[in-house]
């Protein structure tokens, strides 16, 4: 890219920044430019600026479902975490407009405080609302797509569009927004008693905490579940739980999580992912498909 020192994006930015602490896995090298817009207008201005300067960029939300190579990247990164709001809209009082950088846990808390039910299915999921929308975050208790009514995006060709939800907008851990920047997500919730919502939230969190290594650094589930089963169960049945490479470990608690025991490298994690895929295929003939995204300079053989 153009020398990052010469670039002046129209919003806060930093040069030569390490991304490890911007991901829940705690791994990630340096990028030449980190652009930090504070609202949707600044996101649009920043993207237009980067495009006009010919600077390739990637969009980073809460870094929850992402592995970044610790060798670093040449692209700029647009970090959405400063763009945080969550406000009611419409007549019903049941709709909330949420900006892309809003952390999912904060959104879940706000909805509960406002006496709005339906967002608690997302409790225990880290990351941002923009990322959650693009990846259709969720689990056993519900998916974000169940409560979304509209999504405002900056499309690949620079147009800002607000789209009403359609049947084809979301799929399992994916959406039609993977190529766009999600600016805002509108959700429709149901009236509820905050005490009841809080109790439900606690119950879901307890269930998740018993099954998943929520207190350790991880990128969430590594693989999508195969259509007829559970990736975690297959990895457990293959005897891989607790397997370590460097400082990365297949969680003894849940087979579909790789945890960073402290100082894990991208290569450690990549090697564990490869090993899990290899052994599960050999044992059961199932090809596990990666759910986590990865950012690397060079293509990685998974």
Active site residue: 86, 120, 121, 173, which one?
A: 173
H or E element that contains 162: strand 160-164
Residue nearest to ligand EPU (CB): 139
Question: What six digits make up the tokens of 249?
Answer: 């470990």
CA distance 235 to 216: 19
Question: What six digits make up the tokens of 301?
Answer: 């053989």
Q: Which is nearest to 129 in space by CA: 117, 145, 113, 112? A: 145
Stretch touching ligand EPU by CB under 6 A, among 44-52, 107-115, 148-156, 251-259: 251-259
Q: Residues 140, 206, 278, 287: which binds ligand EPU (CB under 6 A)?
A: 140
State the nearest-atom distance from the C-beta of 291 to ligand EPU, in Å: 6
State the nearest-atom distance from the C-beta of 214 to ligand EPU, in Å: 9
- Whether 198 and 112 have beta carbons less than 8 Å apart is answered as yes
- Whether 149 and 189 have beta carbons less than 8 Å apart is answered as no
Q: Is 278 a catalytic residue?
A: no
Question: What six digits make up the tokens of 151?
Answer: 């999504």
- Whether 170 and 145 have beta carbons less than 8 Å apart is answered as yes
Span 260-299, contacts to ligand EPU by CB under 6 A: 291
Q: Is 112 a catalytic residue?
A: no
If the CB atoms of residues 90 and 229 are measured against ligand EPU, the closer one turns out to be 229
Question: What six digits make up the tokens of 262?
Answer: 């402290």
Query: Please, which residues have CB within 8 angstroms of residue 292's CB and are 6 or more apart in sequence?
Result: 65, 66, 67, 219, 220, 221, 222
- Whether 188 and 164 have beta carbons less than 8 Å apart is answered as no
Q: Count of residues binding ligand EPU (CB under 6 A)? A: 16
If the CB atoms of residues 133 and 256 are measured against ligand EPU, the closer one turns out to be 256
Q: Residues 12, 115, 139, 213: which binds ligand EPU (CB under 6 A)?
A: 139
Active site residue: 86, 121, 221, 249, which one?
A: 221
Q: Is residue 131 a contact residue for ligand EPU (CB under 6 A)? A: no
CA distance 186 to 96: 6
State the nearest-atom distance from the C-beta of 130 to ligand EPU, in Å: 16
State the nearest-atom distance from the C-beta of 64 to ligand EPU, in Å: 8
Q: Is 36 a catalytic residue?
A: no
Interface characters, 210-249, with ligand EPU (x: CB under 6 A): -x--------xx--xx----xxxx--x-------------
Question: What six digits make up the tokens of 148?
Answer: 């979304």
Question: What six digits make up the tokens of 43?
Answer: 């996101």
State the nearest-atom distance from the C-beta of 298 to ligand EPU, in Å: 26
CA 250 to chain centre: 20
If the CB atoms of residues 210 and 261 are measured against ligand EPU, the closer one turns out to be 210
State the nearest-atom distance from the C-beta of 250 to ligand EPU, in Å: 9
Identify any residues that bridge with 212 across adjacent strands, giving them in sequence order.
Answer: none
Annotated catalytic residues are 173, 221, 291
Q: Which residues bind ligand EPU (CB under 6 A)?
A: 139-140, 211, 220-221, 224-225, 230-233, 236, 254-256, 291
């Amino acid at each position: 890219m153009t020398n990052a020192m010469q670039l002046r994006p129209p919003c806060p930015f930093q040069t030569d920044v390490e991304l490890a602490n911007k991901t829940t896995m705690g791994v990630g090298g340096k990028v030449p430019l980190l652009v930090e817009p504070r609202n949707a207008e600044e996101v649009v201005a920043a993207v237009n600026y980067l495009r006009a300067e010919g600077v390739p960029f990637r969009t980073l939300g809460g870094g929850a479902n992402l592995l970044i190579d610790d060798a670093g990247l040449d692209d700029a990164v647009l970090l959405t975490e400063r763009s945080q709001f969550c406000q009611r809209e419409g007549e019903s009082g049941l709709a909330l407009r949420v900006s892309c950088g809003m952390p999912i846990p904060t959104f879940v808390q706000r909805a509960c405080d406002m006496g709005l039910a339906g967002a608690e299915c997302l409790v225990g999921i880290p990351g941002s609302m923009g990322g959650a929308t693009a990846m259709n975050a969720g689990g056993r208790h519900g998916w974000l797509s169940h409560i979304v009514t509209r999504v405002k995006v900056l499309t690949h060709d620079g147009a800002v569009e607000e789209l009403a939800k359609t049947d084809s907008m979301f799929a399992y851990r994916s959406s039609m927004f993977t190529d766009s920047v999600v600016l805002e997500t509108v959700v429709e919730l149901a009236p509820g008693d905050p005490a009841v919502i809080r109790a439900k939230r606690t119950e879901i969190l307890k269930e998740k905490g018993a099954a998943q290594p929520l207190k350790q650094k991880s990128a969430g589930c590594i693989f999508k579940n195969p259509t007829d089963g559970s990736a975690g169960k297959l990895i457990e049945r293959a005897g891989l739980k607790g397997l370590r490479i460097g400082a990365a470990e297949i969680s003894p608690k849940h087979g579909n999580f790789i945890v960073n025991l402290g100082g894990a490298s991208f290569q450690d994690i990549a090697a564990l992912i490869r090993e899990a895929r290899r052994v599960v295929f050999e044992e059961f003939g199932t090809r596990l498909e990666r759910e986590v995204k990865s950012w690397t300079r060079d293509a990685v053989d998974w």
